Structure 1
Amino acid sequence: MATTKSNSVLNSASNPHSTGWIIQVWASLVISIGGTLVGITYAPINAWVRGYLAMGVMFSVGSAISVTKTTRDIHEAQQFTSRIDAAKLERLLASHDPYKM
């Protein structure tokens, strides 16, 4: 019975975001990068300045992705460690007999 409950908890926690939220996140990313690149393209500046700004946008996006992945990995590692600790405690409590001397 306990494994069924823990499996359902893990499955429900595997995708905590709704489809609408995921679509909104991707749409905002595409619109913001696209709008910035269109602005850079039509700005009255030299080509080398356009290239510099476009390169800066791309590095900013890459850095944002790296930060979010690192933050997620740290969070998942902490969750995994806390689940291991909880399982160890559960096993210890299950094996403990207060009447045994």
Structure 2
Amino acid sequence: MTTPVQRPMTAAFFVQAALSFALALVSVAVGIAWLPVDSWQRGFLALGLVFLVSSTFTLAKCVRDRQESQEVTHRVDQARIDKILSEHDPFDLKQP
């Protein structure tokens, strides 16, 4: 059985990505807070910001899941599982 290849991610890259996301989120939130508009307009923009952030995380997860499902090791493991399931007879009492 082959083990999946782990792609290394440096700590500096992770910190840079987290800090850039935090800086962008805070700057947009401050921009919305200081915008000279009514409170309902500010609330609408804040709600849009929350929706944008949540959909960004969902999109990132979908892209990651698609990439993982297309890896060769995953497809080989899935083929093995499919073979085992197709050969298994739940009504055969002789199998352990």
TM-score (norm 1): 0.68
Per the alignment, residue 25 of structure 1 pairs with 17
C-alpha distance in structure 1 between counterparts of 2:9 and 2:16, whole Å: 11
**Structure 1 position 59 matched with structure 2 position 51:** yes
C-alpha distance in structure 1 between counterparts of 2:7 and 2:38, whole Å: 46
C-alpha distance in structure 2 between counterparts of 1:47 and 1:78, whole Å: 47
| Paired residue secondary structure (1:45) | coil
**Structure 1 position 45 matched with structure 2 position 22:** no
Deviation of 1:68 after TM superposition, in Å, equals 0.8
C-alpha distance in structure 2 between counterparts of 1:26 and 1:43, whole Å: 26
Structure 2 residues without counterparts, runs of 5 or longer? 81-96
Q: CA RMSD in A?
A: 2.1
C-alpha distance in structure 2 between counterparts of 1:75 and 1:15, whole Å: 12
Q: Where do 1:1-101 residues align within 5 Å?
A: 7=3, 10=4, 13-79=5-71, 80-81=74-75, 84=76
C-alpha distance in structure 2 between counterparts of 1:32 and 1:15, whole Å: 26
C-alpha distance in structure 2 between counterparts of 1:15 and 1:23, whole Å: 17
Structure 1 residues without counterparts, runs of 5 or longer? 89-101
Deviation of 1:17 after TM superposition, in Å, equals 1.2
Structure 1: 4+ residue segments shifted above 3 A: none
Q: Give the total of aligned pairs.
A: 77
Deviations 1:55-74 (A, max 9, x none): 10110111111111011101
